[in-house]
Amino acid sequence: MAQNPPKVEATVGSEEARQKGKATPDTIKIGCIAMVTKDGFPRRAEILSIKETRSGRQFYCNFDNFNKRLDEWVPVSRIDFDQDVEWPNPDKDKPKDGKGKKGSTAPSKKSQPKKSQKRPSKREQSVTSASEVTTPHPFSDTVESNQKFTPAAEESQAQTPANGEVTSTTTTRTTPAAAAAGGGGDEMDVDGEEVLRAGAAIAAPKRAETNGFSREAEIEKLRTHGSMTQNPAEISRIRNISKVQFGKHDLFPWYFSPYPEAFGMEDVMYICEFCLGYYGDFKSFSRHRTKCTLQHPPGNEIYRDESVSFFEIDGRRQRTWCRNLCLLSKMFLDHKTLYYDVDPFLFYVMTVRDDKGFHLVGYFSKEKESADGYNVACILTLPQYQRKGYGRLLIQFSYELSRIEGKLGSPEKPLSDLGLLSYRQYWGENIIDLLVGFNERDDRVTIEHISTALAMTPQDVEHTLGALRMQIYHRGEHKIVIPEKLILQWEKQKTKKRRVIDPSRIQWKPPVFTASSRTWGW
């Protein structure tokens, strides 16, 4: 008698059907898809990793149609073993003994002449490693380190006249018909064309490997993964820290951070909110808190108003504190690669004050000397303070420092998904505010005028105008128009009370560094 075939079901994104069956906490393995409780509802999730902690076994789950930031470690009690799980397909095409189906065309070592097997000298090794390995720029995984502008910025440059000059532009309120001609859609949406294709942290992939991503695929990847990187190995990295107690807040990390491996076995990691030291058990943390006397970041206070204070910290003078800050921020920044080489950077830390001290809200770092003129290398607002206007303050403060320096500023690329939205909103509101003033005075304005007035680079101005559909070509001229929808949004924002930086309160002069203080001082 013929046996019944096993129950199979095709899953989303899989090429073959998966076999389904019962599982137990001991038999379930990495790659299985099970029903896991999230926010009180059963959700379909894939098991990406399994670890043993002090409280028992935990499973790292990636939920269908959820942002990558919402991946989490779950205990056994949240997995529904009454329902069938989908087992991973066996690797039928997995090569054995390092040999695939197709033979390698590269000659073996035995077939090579003996001269070619000579071990290179140390000098030859250093030259070879320098030419073959692409070292990433600090705080970014840019595919091409020499590429200064985002694809969107290059695209907007292509819209200028052939002679490379920007003609005078006019600012007008558009009619609905003109607005339709200028383009529709969500002005603050993240376009896939604007997502920089970042590579791995060690070696950047070739451009040909990223051309396979379509615009729709990149938008979907950004929505579901919450990641700027296009490398599948980077996207699938497992978050190692489950929970962090930071002051009076409980933080749940979004991404992997290279804390010591032992901390991944703890249910909670404790971080001192003043010195940023990290501890694996509450007893050690409590003993530290009785001895820690620090009540503010270890730097010079360069700004203070009724709500916030800013401190300037030299990464060379405060190495340990700045390294701990980078480890903390890596839990919420996917493409950050710098943790230890903090000497070439200045850190501008924003805090809020109370009777217990100055509490960390966010920060941005800045190269002591940037060859590309960047005024921000890395920027972060901690999750408990997001959506409260603090990110805008950080951005505004970075541009106020650029004004004092007499330079045009721009953030280092690639921006994270949330960073891109924050910067585009800041750029758009300031540009519209400036253009409305020119329009009321019936003055003509150029992109260079906007760039100088706002301390922004012309590339960022063009990028914003293109993203907001404000730049059109009419009667032989490139003109700037403000759609009625954007004006209504701008008028609505003006009615809200917002925190802003008062430039007169900034007590700061551009620091001057010697060659030895810009890098490692050992």
Are residue 340 and residue 485 in the same domain, yes or no?
A: no
Are residue 405 and residue 444 in the same domain, yes or no?
A: no
How confident is the model over 46-77, as pLDDT tens digits?
Answer: 999 898 888 889 999 999 888 878 888 899 99
pLDDT at 314: 94
In a domain, 207, yes or no: no
Going by pLDDT thresholds of 50, 70 and 90, the confidence category of residue 237 is: low
In a domain, 198, yes or no: no
Whether 206 has a pLDDT exceeding 60, the answer reads: no
Q: Pick from 67, 91, 201, 199: which is nearest to 143 by CA?
A: 199
Which CATH number covers residue 251? Answer: 3.40.630.30
Are residue 410 and residue 319 in the same domain, yes or no?
A: yes
What kind and span of H or E run contains 149?
none
Are residue 449 and residue 379 in the same domain, yes or no?
A: no
pLDDT at 517: 62
Whether 409 has a pLDDT exceeding 60, the answer reads: yes
Are residue 309 and residue 403 in the same domain, yes or no?
A: yes
Whether 375 has a pLDDT exceeding 80, the answer reads: yes
Q: Say whether the peptide bond before residue 414 is cis (omega within 30 degrees of 0).
A: yes
pLDDT at 99: 46
Are residue 487 and residue 388 in the same domain, yes or no?
A: no
List residues with catalytic annotation. Answer: 412
* Boundary of a domain, candidates 86, 102, 132: 86
Whether 225 has a pLDDT exceeding 80, the answer reads: no
Query: Average pLDDT of 220-241?
Result: 53
The arrangement of strands across the sheet holding 471-474 comes to 171-173, 477-482, 471-474
Percent of the chain's residues with pLDDT above 90: 42
In a domain, 151, yes or no: no
Report the C-alpha gap between 88 and 83 in whole angstroms. 16
Going by pLDDT thresholds of 50, 70 and 90, the confidence category of residue 91 is: low
Tell which wins on pLDDT, 224 or 253.
253
How confident is the model over 440-449, as pLDDT tens digits?
Answer: 877 888 899 9
pLDDT at 68: 78
Evaluate whether 437 touches 501 at the Cβ level (below 8 Å). no
Query: Average pLDDT of 453-480?
Result: 88
How confident is the model over 22-32, as pLDDT tens digits?
Answer: 999 999 999 99
Q: Pick from 330, 337, 300: which is nearest to 318 by CA?
A: 300
User: Packing angle between helix 458-467 and helix 447-454, nearest 10 degrees?
Assistant: 110
Tell which wins on pLDDT, 215 or 155.
215
Query: Average pLDDT of 163-167?
Result: 36
Query: Average pLDDT of 119-127?
Result: 40
Whether 15 has a pLDDT exceeding 80, the answer reads: no
Are residue 495 and residue 375 in the same domain, yes or no?
A: no
pLDDT at 52: 87
Going by pLDDT thresholds of 50, 70 and 90, the confidence category of residue 494 is: confident
Q: CA torsion, points 409, 415, 419, 424, in degrees to nearest 10?
A: 60
Query: Average pLDDT of 204-231?
Result: 43
In a domain, 26, yes or no: yes
pLDDT at 18: 81
Are residue 393 and residue 339 in the same domain, yes or no?
A: yes
Are residue 263 and residue 399 in the same domain, yes or no?
A: yes
Are residue 396 and residue 478 in the same domain, yes or no?
A: no
Which CATH number covers residue 45? Answer: 2.30.30.140
Evaluate whether 461 touches 181 at the Cβ level (below 8 Å). no
Evaluate whether 304 touches 349 at the Cβ level (below 8 Å). no
In a domain, 197, yes or no: no
pLDDT at 196: 29
Query: Average pLDDT of 176-194?
Result: 35
* Boundary of a domain, candidates 38, 61, 86: 86
pTM of the model: 0.66
Tell which wins on pLDDT, 8 or 285.
285
Of 5-19, 29-43, 479-493, give the lowest mean pLDDT range. 5-19
Are residue 432 and residue 396 in the same domain, yes or no?
A: no
In a domain, 101, yes or no: no
Going by pLDDT thresholds of 50, 70 and 90, the confidence category of residue 334 is: confident
* Boundary of a domain, candidates 350, 379, 414: 414
Going by pLDDT thresholds of 50, 70 and 90, the confidence category of residue 6 is: very low
Are residue 475 and residue 355 in the same domain, yes or no?
A: no
Report the C-alpha gap between 323 and 321 in whole angstroms. 6
Q: CA torsion, points 221, 226, 232, 236, in degrees to nearest 10?
A: -130
Residue 92 in 3-state DSSP?
A: coil
Query: Average pLDDT of 258-273?
Result: 92
In a domain, 128, yes or no: no
Of 175-179, 201-205, 343-347, give the lowest mean pLDDT range. 201-205
Number of domains in the chain: 3
Which CATH number covers residue 489? Answer: 1.10.10.10
Query: Average pLDDT of 266-286?
Result: 95
Whether 459 has a pLDDT exceeding 90, the answer reads: yes
Average pLDDT along the chain = 74
In a domain, 255, yes or no: yes
Domain that holds residue 437: 420-499
Query: Average pLDDT of 392-399?
Result: 96
Query: Average pLDDT of 163-187?
Result: 37
Going by pLDDT thresholds of 50, 70 and 90, the confidence category of residue 516 is: low
Percent of the chain's residues with pLDDT above 70: 67
The number of beta carbons lying within 10 Å of the beta carbon of residue 196 is: 23
pLDDT at 413: 85
